[in-house]
């Protein structure tokens, strides 16, 4: 089952989309994922705002039997996110490092063939690994 949530690419969109993602997880009985999903969604949506000129940002939440996957889409396929090493006290540039730490996997998918027209940065939570399978 998948849900798509769209917002304009504005500074406030990270908060709006993370709250919608968390409400969806809570409704689906996956409240234990909320803290990690909130952080990862905020970081990825904020990257869209800071590093692209996309008109909108779309979050798609896929609730599978064994995993939850969240895709964040934008129309800037060449603005590929890259984790980087940061200094201990730096407040910027840690987003993908946090996504890597708090999710069970992440990546980037480009769409549109040889001349990509959009991309999705995705991250997922493995329900079995987290002891959430019933």
More confident: 91 or 109: 109
Judged against a pLDDT cut of 80, whether residue 35 lies above it is answered with yes
Q: What is the pLDDT of residue 93?
A: 58
- Residue 77: pLDDT band with limits 50, 70, 90: confident
pLDDT above 90 (res 14): yes
Per-residue pLDDT for 87 more than 70?
no
Q: Does position 90 have pLDDT exceeding 80, yes or no? A: no
Kindly write down the DSSP assignment for every residue of the chain, as one continuous string. Answer: -EEEEEEESSTTHHHHHHHHHHHHHHHTT-GGGHHHHHHHHHHHHHHHHHH---SEEEEEEEE-SSEEEEEEEES-TT---------TT--SS-HHHHHHHHSS-EEEEEESTTS--EEEEEEEEETTTTT---
What is the C-alpha separation between 114 and 13, in angstroms, rounded?
30
Q: Is the pLDDT score of 68 beyond 90?
A: yes
**Residue ranges of domains in the chain, CATH in brackets:** 2-126 (3.30.565.10)
Alpha-carbon gap, residue 37 to 48, rounded angstroms = 17
What is the pLDDT of the chain when averaged over all its residues? 91
Q: For the segment 92-129, what is each residue's pLDDT rounded down to a tens digit?
A: 657 898 999 999 999 999 999 899 999 999 999 999 99
In this prediction, residue 95 carries a pLDDT of 82
Instruction: Tell me if the pTM is above 0.85.
Output: yes
């Amino acid at each position: 089952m998948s849900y798509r949530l769209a917002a304009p690419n504005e500074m406030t969109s990270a908060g709006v989309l993370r709250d919608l993602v968390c409400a969806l997880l809570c409704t689906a009985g996956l409240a234990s994922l909320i803290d990690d999903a909130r952080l990862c969604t905020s970081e990825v949506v904020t990257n869209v705002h800071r590093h692209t000129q996309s008109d909108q940002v779309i979050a798609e939440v896929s609730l599978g039997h064994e995993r939850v996957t969240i895709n964040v889409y934008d129309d800037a396929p060449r603005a590929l996110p890259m984790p980087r090493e940061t200094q201990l006290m730096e407040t910027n540039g840690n987003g993908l490092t946090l996504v890597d730490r708090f999710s069970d996997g992440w990546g980037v998918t480009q769409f549109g063939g040889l001349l990509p027209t959009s991309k999705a940065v995705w991250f997922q939570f493995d329900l079995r690994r987290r002891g959430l399978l019933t």
